[in-house]
Amino acid sequence: MEAYRSDAWIALGDPTRKAIFELLVDRPRAVGELAGELPVSRPAVSQHLRVLKDAGLVIDTPVGTRRVYRIEPDGLEALRADLERFWGRALAAYKSAAEQASEEEE
């Protein structure tokens, strides 16, 4: 499971993939629609979507001859869980440092 989350963060490290992901947060879209909103070709958008799909961040549904992509809720939840874990660690470290500083002043 850890590799899955790591892949998601790496996938979002690319500015174009992050932009695609942000567009899909608003609503599901087809490749052509995404390409029309970005300065990259349709084939490039398809490649970026494949990376996002492999990372578990998006899913696609066939609609006629098109594929419509949307955010994968479980993938987004995994990212959120990572952030909550990071935040919890940061707060715990801050609390420990504050308590240690307080003890040293006494």
| pLDDT more than 90, % of the chain | 66
Report the sign of the C-alpha dihedral through residues 106, 101, 85, 71, in that order: positive
| CATH code linked to domain 2-105 | 1.10.10.10
pTM of the entire predicted model: 0.78
Give the distance, in angstroms, between the CA of residue 14 and the centroid of all CA atoms in the same chain: 11
> In the predicted model, is pLDDT for residue 5 greater than 60?
no
CA 84 to CA 5: how far, in whole Å?
A: 13
> In the predicted model, is pLDDT for residue 95 greater than 60?
yes
- Dump pLDDT digits (tens) for 55-72: 999 999 999 999 999 999
Instruction: Answer for the pair 34, 52: CB distance below 8 angstroms, yes or no.
Output: no
Position with higher pLDDT, 106 vs 96 = 96
Mean model confidence pLDDT for the chain:
89
Going from N- to C-terminal start, the domains of the chain cover 2-105
- Dump pLDDT digits (tens) for 27-52: 999 999 999 999 999 999 999 999 99
